[in-house]
Amino acid sequence: MLKKGRRTAAGRHGTGARPQAIRLAKCPTGIHGFDEITGGGLPRGRPTLLCGGAGCGKTLFAMEFIVRGAMLFGEPGVFMSFEETTDELKANVASLGLDLAELESERKVLLEFVHIERSEIHETGEYDLEGLFVRLNLAIDSIGAKRVVLDTLEALFAGLPNEAILRAELRRLFRWLKTKGVTAVITAERGREQLTRHGLEEYVSDCVVLLDHRVNDQIATRHLRVIKYRGALHGTNEFPFLIGDMGISVLPITSLGLTHKVSDERVSTGIPKLDAMLSGRGFFRGSSILLTGTPGTGKTITAACFAQAAARRGERVLFFSFEESPDQIIRNMRSIGLRLDPLVRRGLLRFHAARPTVYGLEMHLATMFREIAMYRPQVVIMDPITSLMAAGTDSETKGMVTRLIDYLKEGQVTSLFTSLTHGGHALQQSEIAMSSLMDSWLLLQDFEGNGERNRVLYVIKARGMAHSNQVREFLISDRGIDLVDAYIGPSGVLTGSARLAQTARENAEALEARQESARRRHELERRRAALERQIGGLRTEHEESAQELRRIDRQAGTQVRLLSAERTELGRLRHADVANPRQRPVRPGPNGTAGSSP
Amino acid sequence: MKKPSSPRRRRADKLWQLRLYVAGQTPKSLTAFSNLKKICETHLRGRYRIDVIDLVKRPQLSGGDQILAIPTLVRKLPEPVRKIIGDLSDTERVLVGLDLRAAG
């Protein structure tokens, strides 16, 4: 049942390679990065020559080809060693976590040690290498091998005296390997004037890979180059590669695929105001962030804030420090109110500190890869990435960082790199090369003026999100980081006490304006009250006039009545003389008034 | 008297065990076998045994004696083990290889 499952898994790999059949069929090596630069691996069913000087990793490369083939692709492999015994081989790769003994017992890998001792061999005439063929054939057939490694055939040149016979036999061997249909890797020592010491490249013409180990500025770096790959496109560049705990890892500087998944999730920067600058929600998960700044602008602090925020959310944070020891960082951060030690104790924050010069760039990266693979962090911080430049050249560092970012992005790990600049533009320029790799770039800068030095922060870029274009002043207090708006006036950016003075001035102006408006309001109130009073007076006057008018009207009415009454009386008197003679009004009194005389 | 002759005496005491590895009935194999037979009859008459191993028939035996070249003659006994490759046409070299004659 289990066996059946395995076989279908292997079958799936086989069919997976089939759509490429129109082109050259490839045999994936399973070596990290190599399959990418060769577009799928080594030419299937053909021999590949792997050459390089001593200690380049030829044997390891070949062994990984076999082991990964057996483990990942279900292709059994024969490793024929002419130099190391099977026990030595097992011990060597055990340090990479590969258990050859188990693979051997499962009949997925066959180790074959061919011992040649020149002193034991006496040549007495014509011979051929049929014995080797028989042996190899037996080994291949016994486990149904699809992959073969011969490491290294050149031992034959040392062991067998007749080079003419040897060369003819090798030619036959490679032809035979092709007809056998196995994908073979043949290792060879690098020669002085030609690729290999004994010119094996003459026989293996399908694919030639060169491994190289050289020292530049006291720093050793391994390189891999595909010299020849008949019938296939391949990266022709030299690619640095690492030998780490996980085996070989080729680091393509120009990453061929940009296909990592992205997340829409956002993670806080740990500084609320900075989140606000990044459309209120912080960075994207799995993005890469570059934080550049001159010395003492608070790069490590910003990084530590981010680390603390992430760890408090329950994420695992891996902090690579190249300048300070973990204890030093914890102590220093305590002074601004960041308590990192509890997070370290809870296992949410892990420091890895190493001097950049302690080993070469490739080793640094190998260590980082291993740490990342072991700890599986959600957030990785590197402080500062520029230190690594001391361990390699600019372009190498950039290549490594690219690879690292790719690796982190694949795992959706948010990465923050701090980068030290030394003021001036030349070095900032060199940063730009690296910044193009980054999704977000924050710049910390300090401004000198009025006898003080103040820090400001810009968001130079933040891919995929609206972000503030403002310069913010960056304050570090015993309660952490705060960002305040910096003033940008005609004379430039105002920070620190100048900003405070500006604030005070503005406050005074505001107060004055408030007072002025209060005064004017008061004045208006007063005038209104005066008018109000005036209106009252006028109204009274109006009322009085109306009353007067009414009185006059009444008076006038009375007079009219009296007159009419008098007229009536007169009439009455004229018409009725016999009436009371005393009531004769025509007889005016002494006062001229009408009235009865007593 | 005893000192110089002791190795020869020891060799004389013991049976020589020789193995000739071949791969099929090739001309080289046949030449090698006839050459070996001749040398043994001349130098080791009556105290040798030759096993001819055909790797085409028994390929699993190729690992034991670390056989690469064909034909290979292996002297299993007396010890130490010695290997002689080729069709054994250079008799002088075969004798030196088998330690039947001092080199030079």
Where does a domain end: A431, A465, A485?
A485
Q: What is the CATH number of the domain that holds A174?
A: 3.40.50.300
- Which range has the worst mean pLDDT, A121-125, A432-436, A524-528, B10-14? B10-14
Q: Which residues contact A479 (CB under 8 A, 6 or more apart)?
A: A336, A337
Least confident segment among A420-424, A479-483, B41-45: A420-424
Beta-carbon contacts of A47 under 8 Å, excluding residues fewer than 6 positions away, are: A174, A177, A178, A183, A184, A185, A186, A204, A206, A207
Statement: residue B1 has pLDDT above 50: no
Q: Does B20 touch chain A (CB under 8 A)?
A: no
- Of A163-167, A235-239, B90-94, give the lowest mean pLDDT range: A235-239
Tens digits of per-residue pLDDT, A1-26? 344 444 444 444 444 444 444 567 88
CA distance B19 to chain A (A): 14
What pLDDT is stored for residue A179 in this prediction? 92
Same domain, A95 and A6: yes
CA distance A406 to A403: 5
Considering CB atoms only, which of A115, A126, A132 is closest to B86?
A126
Q: Pull the structure tokens for residue A104.
A: 């051997």
Looking at residue A132, its amino acid is L
- Cβ within 8 Å, pair A126-B28: yes
Q: How confident is the model at residue A585 (pLDDT cuts 50, 70, 90)?
A: low
- CATH superfamily, domain B2-97, is Glutaredoxin (3.40.30.10)
- Shared domain for A273 and A147, answered yes or no, is no
Question: Are residues A461 and A516 located together in one domain of the fold?
Answer: no
Backbone region of residue A225 per phi and psi (left: phi > 0; alpha: psi in -120 to 50; beta: other values): beta
Q: What are the structure tokens assigned to A482, written together?
A: 């705060």
Mean pLDDT of chain A: 81
Sheet containing strand A109-113, edge to edge, reads A109-113, A77-81, A147-151, A183-189, A47-52, A207-216, A219-229, A238-244, A247-250
A180 in the same domain as A113: yes
pLDDT given at position A451: 81
B11 CB near a chain A CB, below 8 Å? no
Question: Is A83 known to be catalytic?
Answer: yes
Pairing of strands A77-81, A109-113: parallel
Largest interatomic CA distance in chain B: 48
**What's the CA gap between B69 and A121, in Å, rounded?**
10
**Which of B66, B69, B81 is the closest to A127 by Cβ?**
B69
Confirm whether A362 is a catalytic residue.
Answer: no
pLDDT band of residue A202 (cuts 50, 70, 90) is: confident
Q: Which residues of A touch B28 (CB under 8 A)?
A: 126-128
Q: Which pLDDT value is given to residue A566?
A: 86
Tell me which range, A308-322, A354-368, A385-399, is most confidently predicted by mean pLDDT.
A308-322
Q: Give the whole-angstrom CA distance, residue A48 versus residue A203.
A: 10
- The percentage of chain B sitting over the pLDDT mark of 90, rounded to a whole number, equals 6
Residues A152 and A7 in one domain: yes
How far is C-alpha A167 from the chain's CA centre? Answer: 55
Q: Which of A199, A222, A198, A219 is nearest to A211 (CA)?
A: A222
For residue A11, what are the domain limits?
Answer: 2-120+128-250
Six token digits for residue A227: 């010299």
Chain A residues touching residue B88 (CB < 8 angstroms): 124-125
What integer is the mean pLDDT of B39-56?
A: 88
Position A122 pLDDT exceeds 70: yes
SS (H, E, C) A9-44: HHHHHHHHHHHHHHCCCEECCCCECHHHHCCCCEEC
Best-predicted range by mean pLDDT (A194-203, A438-447, A579-588): A438-447
Q: A368, A438, A375: which is closest to A405 by C-alpha? A: A438
* Structure token digits, residue A262: 């992205």
Q: What is the pLDDT of residue A493?
A: 67
The answer, yes or no, to whether residue A52 has pLDDT greater than 50, is yes
The type of residue at B78 is: P
Q: Average pLDDT for residues A431-440, to the nearest whole number? A: 73
Domain count, chain A: 3
Q: Does residue A246 lie within any of the structural domains? A: yes
Q: How far apart are CA A344 and CA A278, in angstroms?
A: 28
DSSP label at residue A128 = B
What ipTM did this prediction achieve? 0.84
| Residue A17 φ then ψ, to 5° | -85, -15
- Give domain status of residue A104, yes or no: yes
Please, which residues have CB within 8 angstroms of residue A137's CB and are 6 or more apart in sequence?
Answer: A180, B59
Asked whether residue A201 is assigned to any structural domain, the reply reads yes
> Which residues of chain B have a CB within 8 Å of the CB of A130?
23, 55, 69-70
Query: Is the pLDDT at B86 greater than 60, yes or no?
Result: yes
User: A489 pLDDT exceeds 50?
Assistant: yes
Q: What contacts A65, CB < 8 A, 6 or more positions away?
A: A29, A30, A31, A42, A77, A147, A149, A185
Q: Do A128 and B70 lie within an 8 Å CB cutoff?
A: yes
pLDDT at A426: 43
Note the pLDDT of residue A225.
87
Q: Judge whether residue A317 has pLDDT over 90.
A: yes
Say if residue A356 is in the same domain as residue A367. Answer: yes
Q: Which residues touch B29 (CB under 8 Å, ≥6 apart)?
A: B22, B23, B70, B71, B87
- Residue A507's region, left for phi above 0, alpha for psi from -120 to 50, else beta, is alpha
Of A20-24, A211-215, A391-395, B93-97, the range with the lowest mean pLDDT is A20-24
Structure tokens at A330: 């914890």
Examine the pLDDT at A128 and tell me if it is beyond 80: yes
A404: closest CA among A298, A320, A301, A304? Answer: A320
Does pLDDT of A596 surpass 60?
no
Residues of A in contact with B19 (CB under 8 A): none
Q: Are residues A374 and A288 in the same domain?
A: yes
Its pTM stands at: 0.62
Q: Please list, in sequence order, all residues whose beta carbon lies within 8 angstroms of the beta carbon of residue A447, skipping any fewer than 6 positions away.
A: A453, A454, A455, A456, A493, A495, A496
Out of A323, A324, A371, A569, the active site residue is A323
Domain endpoint, select from A430, A465, A485: A485
User: Do A477 and A461 belong together in one domain?
Assistant: yes
**What is the model's pLDDT at position A337?**
87
Q: Name the helix (H) or strand (E) containing A92.
A: helix A86-94
N residues, chain B: 104
- Higher-pLDDT residue of A60, A239: A60
Q: Tell me, yes or no, if A514 comes closer than 8 A to chain B by beta carbon.
A: no
Shortest Cα distance, chain A CAs vs residue B8, angstroms: 21
The letter for the amino acid at A322 is: F
pLDDT value at residue A5: 40
- CB of A137 within 8 Å of a chain B CB? The answer is yes
Same domain, A13 and A59: yes
Looking only at the bridges linking them, the beta strands covering A283-284 and A47-52 are unpaired
Q: Which helix (H) or strand (E) holds A350?
A: strand A349-353
Find the mean pLDDT for residues A132-160: 88
Exposed e or buried b per residue across A298-334, where buried means at least 16 C-beta atoms within 10 angstroms of its C-beta: bbbbbbbbbbbbbbeeebbbbbbbbbeebeebbeebe
Query: What dihedral angle (degrees, nearest 10) is formed by the CA atoms of A577, A582, A584, A590?
Result: 160
| Together in a domain, A270 and A240 | no
Beta carbons of A128 and B84 less than 8 Å apart: no
Centre a 10 Å sphere on the Cβ of residue B38 and count the other Cβ atoms it contains.
13
Contacts of A584 (CB under 8 A, 6+ apart): A573
Q: Check whether residue A87 and residue A183 sit in a common domain.
A: yes
Question: What HEC string does A178-229 produce?
Answer: HHHCCEEEEEEEECCCCCECCCHHHCCCCEEEEEEEEEECCEEEEEEEEEEE
Q: Which of B32, B59, B82 sits opposite A134 (nearest CB)?
A: B59
Question: A264 or A202, which is more confident?
Answer: A264
pLDDT tens digit string along A365-387?
777 877 888 889 999 998 888 77
The pLDDT, as a whole number, for residue B6 is 45
**CA-to-CA distance for A10 and A12, rounded, in angstroms?**
5
Backbone angles phi, psi at A370, to 5 degrees: -65, -45
Domain match, A342 and A444 both = yes
Identify the pLDDT of residue A591: 52
